[in-house]
Amino acid sequence: MSGPETKFVETPDLRIGYFEYGNPSGIPVLLLHGFPDAPLAWREVVERLDRKRYRLIAPYLRGFGPTVVQQQELIGGQTAALGHDVLAFSDALGLTRFHLVGHDWGASAAYAASIFAPERIKSLMTLASPYVMWGGKDYPPAQVHAHWYQWYFQLEPGEKVMQENAEDFCKELWQRWSPEWSFSRSEFSEAAKAWKNPQFAEIVLHYYRTRWGGALSLRAYAFLQSKLNTKPKPKIAVPTIYIQGGADACDLPECSDDQGDFFSGKYERVMVKGAGHFPHRENPDAVAKALSRQLEKTR
């Protein structure tokens, strides 16, 4: 992300690197990236927002870029840990209430934070990962096929590729997930720098293995994880806009149908025609327009 240098803040668990744009006294908006990506993914959206009004903050998630987990026993990527990090990061910055935006893993972190502390989050916008995939129903075969990489990560060969050849593997994911997007070599290389973190592979594998029962929750986050795993799923009270790419080949467009029942607050889905799994990169105009509308409605 061009412009400001990387800033750092300490939480009890992490040292977090982040970028900040806009008015330091403005309304805070946190922008969370996904896997495999980096905070710079928000650059084009940020440039389309009112930076005189908003304080726009884009952190590196744990295991990405310069963000490191400071205790060995806390290294992991389960959803509760990501949600906990959002709130700890906002505490470290002195943010009592804020707007929250998340893509992919960032969406998972944002949903979790909205369950843990809904009173702190003024609005929510998520992209490319619905709160409850397929409304909690069994995956159809096409979705099972699209999530092949998640099953691969349960195996030793998947672990090996993330440790030894993550960049080439993630390039394959970008190409498959957004079939209508011709990203540049520099755009990809810029993002790939964030995957050099020595904790990256371990955290990625733990995220997907805890998701499918291939690893245990870390003890420190087990209580928070239990809040997310309740049945029925806890409803999200924060006003939410969800952005779905109409050509997403990772989380298929139909996977986000029938989400309204999982939200007690106002919920809206916006379909971005032609966009794949990275709508904010592929069509920043549409995403910035939806986000600006959400911020105006909930400020």
pLDDT tens string 45-99:
999 999 999 999 999 999 999 999 999 999 999 999 999 999 999 999 999 999 9
Answer whether residue 210 shows pLDDT above 60.
yes
CB atoms < 10 A from the CB of 145, how many? 11
Please report how many Cα atoms fall inside a 13 Å half-sphere around the Cα of residue 121, on the Cβ side.
Answer: 28
DSSP secondary structure of 142-163: HHHHHTHHHHHTTSHHHHHHHH
Q: Would you kindly state where each structural domain of the chain is located, as residue ranges?
A: 7-298
Residues whose CB falls within 8 Å of the CB of residue 172, separated by 6 or more in sequence, listed in order: none
Q: CB under 8 Å to 198, separation ≥6 — which residues?
A: none
Element of type H or E holding 46: helix 43-46
Residues 243, 259 contacting (CB under 8 angstroms): no
- ∠ at Cα 298 (261, 240), nearest 5°? 25
- Helices and strands (DSSP H and E) totals, the chain: 12, 9
Residue with tokens 């916006």: 270
pLDDT at 3 over 90: no
Tens digits of residue pLDDT in 138-181: 999 999 999 999 999 999 999 999 999 999 999 999 999 999 99
Angle at 254 between CA 248 and CA 285, to 5 degrees: 45
Looking at the predicted structure, is the pLDDT value of residue 1 above 50? no
pLDDT at position 223 over 70: yes
Which sign, positive or negative, has the C-alpha torsion 146, 42, 159, 189?
positive
Residue 77: count of CB within 10 angstroms of its CB = 27
Compute the distance between CA of residue 59 and CA of residue 20 in angstroms, rounded to an integer: 9
The superfamily in CATH containing domain 7-298 is Alpha/Beta hydrolase fold, catalytic domain (3.40.50.1820)
Task: Tally the residues of the chain.
Answer: 299
C-beta of residue 61 within 8 angstroms of C-beta of residue 130: no
**What's the mean pLDDT in 30-42?**
98
Question: How far is CA 264 from each of CA 22, 238, 270, rounded to the nearest angstrom?
Answer: 32, 8, 18
* Whether the Cβ atoms of residue 52 and residue 21 lie closer than 8 Å to each other: no
Q: What is the pLDDT of residue 174?
A: 98
Q: What's the pLDDT tens digit per position in 111-138?
A: 999 999 999 999 999 999 999 999 999 9
